[in-house]
Each structure stands twice: as structure tokens, then as C-alpha cells.
Amino acid sequence: MADITNQSLSDIIENLKKKKVSSTDLTKAYIKNIESAKKLNAFVTTTFDQALDKAKQFDKKPNFDQLLPGIPLAVKDLFCTENIKTTAGSNILNNFIPSYESTVTKNLWDNGSFLLGKLNCDEFAMGSSNETSHYGNVINPVGDQLVPGGSSGGSSSALAADLTPATIGTDTGGSIRQPASFTGTVGLKPTYGLCSRWGIVAFASSLDQAGPMTKTIKDCAIMLESMSGFDEKDSTSINKKKEQYSKNLKDNVKGLKIGIPKEYRVDNMPKEIDELWEKGKKILKDLGAQLIDISLPHTKYALPTYYIVAPAEASSNLARYDGVRYGYRSKQGKDLIEMYEKTRSEGFGDEVKRRILIGTYVLSSGYYDAYYLKAQKVRQLIKKDFDDSFTKIDAILTPSTPSSAFKIGEKTNDPVSMYLNDIFTVPVNLAGLPALSLPAGVDKKGFPLGLQLIGKALDEQKILNIGYAFEKNCGFKNEIKKWWS
């Protein structure tokens, strides 16, 4: 049959069910793609032998009652995987092999899938271009020298380049949606607490959330259904009945009220982004949705708020990487303090250090009230903006990012312009809401652009449904030439 790896996850599952392809052949096809895509540097670790074993086991005793039958999956290297090295993109975990499996990946495996490899990412998920990884830049398959977005850059690159049928990332301030937007793929950040954080290397605990990255909305529903669920090991996990997102997927948006926030326009935003947004509004309107202008007045404070809250939590979350029990330990250092200093100096990269310093500063006595406490108050106001709007509307439509993918090195010396990439995505994390990035078009360079659908807490089904309708009527097709192989 034709190359199966460029099909959607749901089509691949159909083909497996119809015995048009075996799990082993499928796995081999992805391994071949991965081996010829080393240039993209999407993988930190591959687990081919183990994957082939699992595929063979599946083929011997196939079980198609599962959501992900015989599906090989590569995942972001932020998820701890049992007996497989887990680096979080950092030198400080360059030798770390967990003895445990994260809840989210375990859920995926319990649904019939297995691990193909671990995907590159920004160090500790801190970055918007995958340039902060200790394991090198990841290339966007859209074009040589283009960043794939971040922090889930290995995930977006591998997905767009057909190196995995679907994948998962984590999103603290846009780390799923921005790379999805940069690669013409679908990315969903679920409601905070829908997916367990247990076993995911923590960046900012109150914002981190794992989510699916896929080629289609239907795939996204399948993946979300597989990975989510209550976990008593995570105190912030939401205890609710599991949803059947894929079964309940409907493409009817008639009568739904879509909010258009006036604050999601920034200075110097390319005209193409505005045009894309207009295109999105038109599609939904033509499908029978009602567009409603709304205001989210505290949006402009979201980015500074985020860059206080996230580093504060990170500065504390990353204190455990001290060289004492696991991970990298500097050979230098005469005493405990010096060992800490050298280990952390050599183990962490610049961006991580920058955020640890910011976080330490904003929590310091004398600055706490002015920064951290104020940020927490603003966070409540941002959340309230959304809550107030959602009394009148079903979902919000915005651009995903203020630009398309940029060149490697273009923003590395200007952290603030790098941080501005997250301007449309961070408010959602601060409010704990679900949001979907949909591929919606390309700019004049031909680079993909995404639109964002924001839903009420736990309203994933609704934004998936809107996305599903949108996808069918948008006419976007990701034209990626395999220039790297």
C-alpha cells in the first residue's frame, strides 16, 4: 500500500483493523522515516527494538477493542518512561533512567500503544523554539533553518515529518499550541487537572498540563481520551467521569456563540495573522455560529504575570536537581556548597538559569508582595475575565501565535521577543482552561499558521467539535516536502 506514515492516526487504526497493515510493518515504516530524518534532530532517544517487540506481540494477539491498538508513539522527553532515559532536554538529567512510568504515558500504553522514542524539547520545557535543549536544535520540517516552536518542538517536528502517527507534549504557556501552529498540526492543551502530572518532569506546577498533538481533530480526540483521567497520585487531578471524546465528536456548530476578544491584536502583528483570524471567523459564521465581540481586559497583563508565576514555581521545582541522588554531578567542588554550584552551573543551560534567577528574585523576602503576590492577584483577574465572558459564549476564537515559524537564531539573543511568542497562549494557562490550536492557513512564505479555540473548563468536547467542523471546511492541507531524507 501507499506510504502509511502520512496518514492520520484514525486512518492508520482503520487500516490496522482491516489488516491492511500489521503493527510490525507500521512500526518498521516509522523507524525507516526516523532513521532518514536525523537532520531534524527530533529524537533524543529511540527505542526501536523494544517497539518492534511490542509490535510483534500485538500482531500475535491483536486486540482492537483498545483506543490505540498496536500504535507506536514517540513522546516528549519530559515524560518519565520506565527504564528509558528521560532527559527533559537538560544536561543535568543526561544519565537519568526512571524506574517508573508517568501516568499519562502509562494510560497511552494501557490503550494498546507503545513507545517509539523520546522527543527533543526545550530544556525543562523552557523555551518557544526548542533552541534551549542541551541536545541541539530541532528543525521544522516546514523548512530548513526554521524552528519547530517550543517547548514541544521535537513533538511538532516528528509529527509533521511523519516520524510518529501522533504524539504528546506539555503546555505551560503555549508549549503545545505554538509548535502545533508552527508545523501545521493540531495541538490541545486540556483543562488543568484533566491529565495527571504524575511522572512528568515539572516546570511550573500550577500551569503544566500534558496534551495531544495530532494531524487531525479526530486523532486529537482519540489521544485525549487515551491519556486523560483522574489520578489519585496527583492532588490537582480532577475527579470526574471519563469522556468519550472521539465517539461524541460532532461537526455541528450551528447556533454556537463564538467570542472574539478585541485584546488579541498586538502591535506589529503581521497582516496575515489578522487575515487568518478573519478567515476563521467567516468559516464559523458560514457554518451557522454566531460571532460575539467580547473583552478580556486583563489580557495585556498575562505575559508579565506568567513570567513571574512560572519562574517562581520553576525555581523551586528545579531545586531537586542538586547532584546528590541522581542525574549529573560535577566532579569539581571541594564541599557540598561548591558541589551544588558546579553541578547546577554545568548542568543547566542559560535559559533555565535565567528563569531560576527570576523566580528566586520574585519570591525573595521584600519582593514577594510586589511580584509574586501581585501576579497571583492579576492571575485571578485574568481568570475572572474568562469566567465573565463564558456566561455569554461557548468558545473563544483567537490567533494561536503572533507570527509563523521564525529562523533558528533569530530571537535567541532577545528573550523578550522570544517570550512575546506566547502572548496569545499564556492567558489560557493562567486561567486553567482548555485550548486547541488548529492549522488554518499559511503566510506569504508558505509557513503554516494556527487559530486558537478556547473553551470553558472541562469543555474539551465542545472545542473539539468546533475544530472538527472548522477542519472540514477550512481546506488547509499541510504540504511538507521531505527535503531532509
Using rule CB under 8 A, residue 203 touches another protein: no
Give burial (CB, 10 Å; 0-12/13-18/19+) of 49.
exposed
N-term to C-term CA, the chain: 20
Residues 6+ apart with CB under 8 A from 418: 127, 128, 129, 411, 412
Q: Is the peptide bond before 151 cis (omega within 30 degrees of 0)?
A: yes
* Closest alpha carbon to 167 in 124, 223, 121: 223
Q: 66 vs 316, which CB is nearer to another protein?
A: 316
Q: 200 vs 433, which CB is nearer to another protein?
A: 200
State the minimum distance, in angstroms, from the CB of residue 327 to another protein.
8
Using rule CB under 8 A, residue 239 touches another protein: no
State the minimum distance, in angstroms, from the CB of residue 308 to another protein.
11
Query: In which residue are the cell numbers 528543525 written?
Result: 139
Rounded to the nearest 10 degrees, how much is the dihedral formed by the CA atoms of 183, 184, 190, 191? Answer: 100
Interface residue with another protein among 250, 320, 377, 392 (CB under 8 A) is: 320
Interface residue with another protein among 76, 118, 197, 329 (CB under 8 A) is: 197
Supply the DSSP string of 425-482, one letter for each residue.
THHHHHHT--EEEEEEEE-TTS-EEEEEEEE-TT-HHHHHHHHHHHHHHH--------
**Hey, which residues between 407 and 446 contact another protein (CB under 8 A)?**
none
Q: 57 vs 236, which CB is nearer to another protein?
A: 236
**What are the backbone dihedrals phi and psi of residue 79, each rounded to the nearest 5 degrees, phi first?**
-90, 125
What are the C-alpha distances in Å from 15 to residues 4, 25, 26, 160, 212?
9, 12, 10, 20, 21
State the minimum distance, in angstroms, from the CB of residue 318 to another protein.
8
Interface residue with another protein among 42, 73, 161, 200 (CB under 8 A) is: 200
Using rule CB under 8 A, residue 396 touches another protein: no
d(CA 378, CA 298): 8
Interface residue with another protein among 44, 194, 204, 431 (CB under 8 A) is: 204
Using rule CB under 8 A, residue 326 touches another protein: yes
Using rule CB under 8 A, residue 211 touches another protein: no
Using rule CB under 8 A, residue 48 touches another protein: no
196 neighbors 233 (Cβ within 8 angstroms): yes
Using rule CB under 8 A, residue 109 touches another protein: no
Q: 30 vs 372, which CB is nearer to another protein?
A: 372
Which window, 45-53, 113-121, 318-326, 422-430, contacts another protein (CB under 8 A)? 318-326
211 neighbors 186 (Cβ within 8 angstroms): no
d(CA 61, CA 69): 11
Using rule CB under 8 A, residue 305 touches another protein: no
Q: What x/- string results for residues 50 through 89 when contact with another protein is judged by CB under 8 A?
A: ------------------------------x-----x-x-
Interface residue with another protein among 22, 45, 94, 206 (CB under 8 A) is: 206
Interface residue with another protein among 71, 75, 93, 454 (CB under 8 A) is: 93
Q: C-alpha grid cell for residue 200? A: 512528568
Interface residue with another protein among 11, 234, 263, 346 (CB under 8 A) is: 234
**Hey, which residues between 359 and 388 contact another protein (CB under 8 A)?**
360, 363-365, 368, 372
What are the C-alpha distances in Å from 117 to residues 158, 275, 315?
11, 38, 29
Catalytic residues: 76, 151, 175
Using rule CB under 8 A, residue 329 touches another protein: no
d(CA 281, CA 475): 14
Helix (H, G, I), strand (E, B) or coil at 68: coil
Which window, 202-210, 241-249, 300-308, 415-423, contacts another protein (CB under 8 A)? 202-210
- The count of chain residues that interact with another protein, using the rule CB under 8 A, is 43
Using rule CB under 8 A, residue 324 touches another protein: yes
Residues contributing to the site for another protein (CB under 8 A): 80, 86, 88, 93, 96, 98-100, 102, 197-202, 204-206, 232-236, 312-313, 315-316, 318-320, 322, 324-326, 336-337, 340, 360, 363-365, 368, 372
